[in-house]
């Protein structure tokens, strides 16, 4: 699981007369990740699409356009038989004509409705005037101008104009209608000339004789009729969709498959008579792939396993030579190929190596850890030569998340949300749902460990049972537990980083040699472990907090105690750290500037305890506001919630035993004397509790989730992982709507 699936680079060489059959066989096998030919080798050229590719692509464009018009989605079809070419063409033409006809009609109706609406909008200013439209045009001796402007400015401008003999201004809201007689009867446009300096938006008078209100009513009636027609067209289009959706989805799948097959030679190296296709297949699939090609075309092609990519790379990867079972190389087995093919290839220049040699990556993590590939790929797909950290993320991410939230109630909700996503969605959302279920499960487990924590309430108190873990460290009585969880966070960080450095050591040793591994990774291992052994030792004990050495006893309920490593071991750790610094200085001098990173990175894991207390504190605050709380044992004990008015009175009457923290909203409700204030308090307290816990639930995703991912990406991945690998994209397609029969 820590390595991707081993890949083999293969080539298929043959005569062009069998290229169609080879493509069909390779497509059906669905295992060959084709490597594009990069035109670097003399005598070979990139291939061209097979005959008919343009026609297939045109049909595919038509199908997708019809799907867009009808708003077809992937749930609109069931699996059915494949379509033959004549059936597809005839049905596609019939559907295209009908859909285009209805779509054109819909477009025309929508345009007409928009035109009516624009006309209605244009008439609104005239309705404010209250003047029939016929009175606003058709005059010879006077000019009529309508616009939106301030009446005072208009009247002032017209009064100052020498070209206007007499005028009148009618006002309705922000609209003015100006009727003016020019001084010169033959002059035109004198009103507009007079208004040049006025801020006015001129309006065209609609060509209608009715009042604006009547004209608007007429337009609205026309618009309603058009909408009825549009609804009828929409219903007919919906009927066509129900009838044709399945066909269109099947046709798209058929045409997509056909287009991919016909365009496959674009990635091949070709000559006038021959072709060479190269790519990668999983090593365990190669025998089946070879058999599938040979079964399709016999000895008219040569299928050759060129190399097997190794996980111990020199640079990006190195390859292992491949021999056939008879002891000769794969190249020697070419004698069995068709003579015509051999002659053509030899004549045209022989075997052509394609571009990049980097193998694609097939992550193999099983059903449980598989969804966590989503988190790894968000950082970057592993290179073929790298360790795949998915399994390690699967083992650590849910545990860190659960440790930080640690609440049965929240855990159940996280798991329920994850189950919903897992069952209702596909792809990334389904995988994210699986991650959420694992995180929710660990949240439940840690919630039980922390005292059966239920939305911030320790249920063991309600059940009246003894629970060894008193809480998360939020109350005076369980402060030691909070400090112990700080130590747990740090120790987890030490172990987590050790795994990363060990993987770095192994990877460097495989890629280079043991000396490089010691300098580049072994040095950090010595610094990390040596420094922390010294910190957890009895060297200078007075300078170190007591909880470093008391945490083991607290966590094991006193069964095991740890007083710190002996002084000798502590100084040995310090010596190991110094040795690590020396090795680092010899092997990687620039990295000496980061010599404190093993200590700093481990301390960064203290955020696990910090988020644990923060989320627990938020849940406690919500419950405290809603239900009230007190501390027992005169303030030296644990938090307890009050809930009722009677309980509040009891706490307040025993100040020597209990310290009241907050009375709580719901404690104002007294069932014995129900009043409006009490009912409002009860409802308000419940609302505060529900909304508050929803907020804590959501913030738990962002805080705990982000912090856990950060520790994986920055502290852990930074030691051994880069990412940047190529995805495995095998030639072929899994049918969804059609059967290959």
Q: What is the pLDDT of residues 190-209, one digit of tens each?
A: 888 888 888 888 888 877 76
Q: How far apart are the first and last CA of the chain?
A: 36
- Asked if residue 503 lies in contact with residue 717, where contact means CB atoms within 8 angstroms, the answer is no
Nearest Cα to Cα of residue 28 among 251, 256, 261, 267: 261
Q: Which of 333, 310, 329, 312 is nearest to 320 (CA)?
A: 310
Give all strands (DSSP E) within 645-707, no chain letters. Answer: 659-662
Task: Decide if 639 contacts 661 (C-beta within 8 A).
Answer: yes
Residue 592: count of CB within 10 angstroms of its CB: 11
Vertex 604, ends 470 and 597: CA angle to 5°? 145
Token duo for residue 32: 């060959």
Which 8-state DSSP code applies to residue 122? H
Greater model confidence, 628 or 40: 628
- Does residue 26 have a pLDDT over 80? yes
Give the pair of three-digit tokens for residue 82: 């494949």
Neighbouring C-beta atoms of residue 336, cutoff 10 Å = 10
**Residues of the chain with pLDDT > 90: what percent?**
55
Question: Are 476 and 658 spatial neighbours (Cβ–Cβ below 8 Å)?
Answer: no
Give the separation between CA 643 and CA 686, rounded to whole angstroms: 11
Mean pLDDT of 350-379: 82
**Residue range 37-87, pLDDT digits in tens:** 877 667 788 889 999 999 999 999 999 999 999 998 877 667 677 778 888
DSSP 8-class letter at 335: G
In the chain, what's the furthest Cα-to-Cα distance?
118
Q: Which residue has the tokens 């991919």?
A: 260
pLDDT score for 74 = 78
CA-to-CA distance for 530 and 534, rounded, in angstroms? 6
For the cut 80, the answer to whether the pLDDT of residue 317 exceeds it is: no
DSSP state of 537: B
Phi, psi dihedral angles at 44 (to 5 degrees): -120, 150
Is residue 60 packed enough to be buried (19+ CB in 10 Å), middle (13-18) or exposed (0-12)? Answer: middle
| Distance separating alpha carbons of residues 418 and 433, to the nearest angstrom | 4
3-state secondary structure of 10: strand
Q: What does the alpha-carbon distance between residue 384 and residue 309 come to, in Å, rounded to a whole number?
A: 9
- pTM of the predicted model, to two decimals? 0.78
pLDDT for the residue 11: 93
pLDDT tops 70 at residue 451: yes
Over the stretch 205-227, which tens digit does the pLDDT of each residue have? Answer: 877 767 778 888 888 899 999 99
Entry field: residues in the chain: 741
Q: What's the number of CA atoms in the CB half-sphere (13 Å) around residue 217?
A: 5
Lowest-confidence segment of 198-207, 258-267, 693-702 by average pLDDT: 198-207
Question: What does the alpha-carbon distance between residue 348 and residue 123 come to, in Å, rounded to a whole number?
Answer: 78
In DSSP terms, 180 is beta-bridged to: 143, 167
Tokens 């559907």 identify what position? 95
Question: Quick check: 337 pLDDT over 70?
Answer: no
Task: pLDDT band for 340, please (50, 70, 90 cuts).
Answer: very low
Say if residue 43 is exposed, middle or buried (CB neighbours under 10 Å; 0-12, 13-18, 19+): exposed
Please check the confidence at residue 307 and state whether its pLDDT lies above 60. yes
Tell me if 321 sits within 8 A of 305, measured CB to CB: no
Nearest by Cα to 453 from 475, 438, 470: 470
Q: Which residues pair with 305 in a beta bridge?
A: 10
Residue 720 carries which DSSP code?
A: T
pLDDT in tens, 83-121: 788 889 999 999 999 999 999 999 999 999 999 998 888
Mean pLDDT confidence for 662-690: 85
Reply yes or no on whether the pLDDT at 667 is more than 50. Answer: yes
The per-residue pLDDT of the chain, averaged, comes to 87
| DSSP-assigned letter for residue 141 | S
From CA 379, how far away is CA 720, in angstroms rounded? Answer: 13
pLDDT over 90 at 312, yes or no:
no
Q: Which residues neighbour 515 within 8 Å (Cβ) at sequence distance 6 or greater?
A: none
R_g (Cα) of the chain, nearest Å: 40
Quickly state the pLDDT bin for 329 (edges 50, 70, 90): very low
Per-residue pLDDT at 572: 96
Question: What residues form DSSP beta bridges with 176?
Answer: 147, 171
The mean pLDDT value for 414-430 works out to 94
Query: Do residues 70 and 241 lie in contact, with contact meaning Cβ atoms separated by under 8 Å?
Result: yes
Q: Distances from the Cα of 157 to the Cαs of 137, 148, 173, 203, in angstroms?
A: 22, 15, 19, 18
Which contacts of 475-478 are long-range, i.e. CB under 8 A and separated by 24 or more positions?
Answer: 475/631, 475/637, 475/638, 475/639, 476/631, 476/635, 476/636, 476/637, 476/638, 477/633, 477/636, 477/637, 477/638, 478/638
SS3 33: strand
Domains plus CATH for the chain?
A: 7-47+268-347 (3.30.70.2170), 60-111+217-258 (no CATH), 138-204 (3.30.70.100), 474-605 (no CATH), 616-700 (no CATH)
**Mean of the pLDDT values across residues 288-303?**
93
Q: In this predicted structure, what is the pLDDT of residue 577?
A: 96
555-599: per-residue pLDDT in tens?
A: 988 888 898 999 999 999 999 999 999 999 999 899 899 889 999
Q: What is the pLDDT of residue 327?
A: 41
């Amino acid at each position: 699981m820590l390595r991707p699936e081993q890949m083999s680079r293969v080539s298929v060489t043959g005569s062009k007369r069998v290229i169609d059959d080879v493509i069909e066989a390779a497509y059906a096998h669905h295992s060959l990740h084709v490597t594009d030919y990069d035109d670097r080798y003399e005598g070979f050229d990139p291939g061209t699409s097979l005959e008919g590719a343009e026609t297939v692509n045109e049909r595919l464009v038509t199908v997708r356009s019809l799907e867009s018009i009808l708003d077809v989605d992937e749930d609109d079809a069931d699996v059915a038989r494949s379509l033959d070419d004549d059936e597809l063409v005839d049905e596609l033409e019939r559907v295209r004509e009908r859909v285009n006809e209805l779509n054109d009609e819909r477009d025309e109706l929508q345009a007409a409705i928009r035109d009516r609406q624009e006309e209605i909008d244009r008439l609104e200013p005239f309705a404010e005037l209250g003047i029939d439209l016929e009175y606003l045009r058709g005059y010879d001796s006077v000019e009529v101008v309508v616009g939106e402007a301030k009446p005072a400015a208009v009247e002032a401008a017209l009064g100052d104009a020498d070209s206007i003999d007499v005028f009148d201004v009618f006002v309705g809201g922000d609209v003015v209608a100006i009727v003016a007689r020019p001084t010169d009867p033959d002059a035109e446009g004198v009103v507009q000339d007079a208004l040049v300096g006025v801020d006015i938006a001129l309006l065209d008078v609609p060509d209608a004789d009715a009042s604006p209100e009547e004209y608007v009513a007429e337009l609205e009636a026309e618009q309603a009729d058009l909408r009825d027609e549009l609804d009828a067209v929409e219903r007919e289009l919906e009927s066509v969709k129900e009838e044709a959706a399945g066909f269109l989805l099947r046709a798209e799948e058929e045409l997509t498959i056909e287009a991919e097959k016909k365009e496959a030679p674009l990635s091949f190296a070709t000559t006038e008579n021959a072709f060479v296709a190269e790519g990668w297949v999983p090593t365990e699939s190669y025998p089946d792939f070879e058999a599938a090609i040979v079964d399709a075309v016999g000895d008219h092609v040569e299928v050759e396993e060129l190399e097997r990519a190794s996980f111990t790379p020199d640079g990006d990867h190195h390859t292992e030579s491949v021999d056939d079972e008879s002891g000769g190389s794969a190249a020697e087995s070419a004698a069995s190929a068709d003579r015509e093919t051999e002659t053509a290839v030899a004549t045209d220049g022989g075997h052509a190596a394609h571009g990049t040699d980097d193998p694609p990556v097939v992550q193999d993590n099983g059903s449980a850890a598989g969804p966590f590939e989503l988190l790894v790929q968000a950082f970057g797909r592993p290179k073929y030569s790298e360790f795949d950290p998915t399994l390690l993320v699967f083992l650590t991410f849910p545990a860190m998340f659960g440790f930080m939230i640690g609440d049965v109630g929240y855990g159940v909700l996280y798991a329920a949300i994850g189950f919903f996503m897992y069952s209702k969605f596909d792809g990334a959302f389904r995988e994210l749902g699986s991650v959420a279920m694992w995180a929710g499960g660990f949240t439940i487990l840690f919630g039980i460990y922390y005292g059966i924590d239920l939305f911030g309430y320790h249920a063991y108190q309600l059940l009246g049972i003894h629970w060894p873990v008193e809480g998360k460290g939020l109350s005076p009585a369980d402060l030691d537990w909070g400090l112990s969880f700080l130590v747990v966070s740090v120790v987890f960080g030490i172990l987590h980083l050790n795994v990363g450095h060990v993987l770095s050591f192994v990877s460097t040793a495989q890629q280079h040699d043991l000396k490089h591994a010691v300098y580049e990774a072994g040095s950090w291992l010595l610094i990390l472990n040596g420094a922390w052994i010294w910190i957890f030792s009895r060297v200078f004990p007075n300078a170190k907090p007591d909880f470093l050495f008391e945490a083991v006893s607290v966590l094991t309920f006193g069964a095991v105690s740890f007083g710190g490593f002996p002084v000798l071991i502590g100084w040995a750790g310090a010596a190991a750290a110094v040795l690590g610094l020396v090795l680092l200085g010899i092997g990687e001098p620039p990295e000496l500037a980061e010599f404190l990173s093993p200590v700093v990175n481990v301390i960064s894991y203290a955020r696990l305890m910090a988020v644990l207390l923060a989320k627990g504190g938020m849940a406690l605050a919500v419950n405290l506001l809603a239900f009230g709380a007190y501390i027992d044992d005169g303030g030296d004990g644990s938090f307890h919630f009050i809930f009722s008015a009677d309980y509040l009175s009891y706490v307040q009457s025993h100040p020597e035993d209990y310290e009241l923290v907050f009375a709580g909203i719901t404690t104002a409700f007294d069932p014995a004397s129900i009043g409006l204030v009490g009912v409002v308090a009860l409802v308000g307290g419940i609302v505060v509790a529900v909304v508050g816990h929803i907020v804590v639930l959501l913030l738990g995703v962002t805080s705990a989730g982000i912090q856990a991912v950060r520790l994986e990406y920055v502290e852990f991945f930074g030691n051994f992982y880069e990412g940047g690998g190529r995805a495995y994209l095998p030639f072929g397609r899994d049918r969804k709507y059609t059967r290959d029969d």
